[in-house]
Amino acid sequence: MEIIEIIRKPWPWYVAGPLIGLTVPVLLLLGNKSFGISSSLRHMCAAVIPANISFFRYNWKKEVWNLFFVAGITIGGFAATYWLANPDTIVISQATQTTLAGLGITDFGGLMPTDIFSVSNIFTLKGLIFFVLGGFLVGFGTRYAGGCTSGHAIMGLSNLQWPSLVATISFMAGGFACTHLLLPFLLQLVK
């Protein structure tokens, strides 16, 4: 099998999970660095905003590796989307399809349902709620929790940090509540 075919196919959890998990000891060994994505926004703002805001006054150059990490994720995402896309259809269980169809979600053009996340929805009430309000709440929650899901769930839990356990449980509980309680309400609202 060609290497490109191996890269194109989804990897099983028992391969992808340990590879993601191994980033923690590698980053710790390479200079006691913490894995996480949300802090990169702070580093970018500290680098380009000349304002005298105390939150952005620190040595961001010490964390420049994080900006390269995020740039690599971005470039990798584009490369995977445009040149390494999985040719197989994403498999969604029939029970999930039936439940989502009851909510008016029937079009799955990739990893996200295009009934919600499409360019045509950006300047609509649906776009305002799911893109703008949703994005704001994710950003607020990330800042309030002191990090994002990857930082807490991968890095924090592997370091046995109690706040990361609380944050991860809260992220999961909030996700379940939003999926089962808030999402049906919002989809009815924007119909």
> Per residue in 51-85, pLDDT tens?
788 888 888 888 888 889 889 999 998 988 888 87
- pLDDT 10s digits, 131-156: 899 889 888 888 888 888 888 888 88
DSSP secondary structure code for residue 116 in this structure: T
Please tell me the predicted confidence (pLDDT) of residue 72: 93
What is the predicted pLDDT for the residue at 21?
Answer: 85
Q: Which helix (H) or strand (E) holds 73?
A: helix 64-82
| Secondary structure letter of residue 91 according to DSSP | P
Task: Give the model confidence (pLDDT) of 79-128 as tens digits.
Answer: 888 888 777 777 788 898 898 888 888 887 667 788 888 888 888 888 88
CA distance 147 to 140: 10
pTM over 0.75: no
Dihedral sign for Cα atoms in the order 107, 110, 114, 120: negative
Q: CB-based contacts of 103: which residues, under 8 Å, 6+ apart? A: 183, 184, 187
| 3-state secondary structure (DSSP) of residue 175 | helix
Nearest to 149 by CA among 131, 126, 172: 172
Q: Count Cβ atoms below 10 Å from residue 180 Cβ, excluding itself.
A: 9
Tokens 């002191």, residue?
A: 146
pLDDT in tens, 5-35: 778 777 888 998 898 888 888 888 888 887 7
Confidence of residue 1 (pLDDT cuts 50, 70, 90): low
Task: Identify the pLDDT of residue 38.
Answer: 82
The answer to whether 60 and 47 are in contact (CB under 8 A) is yes
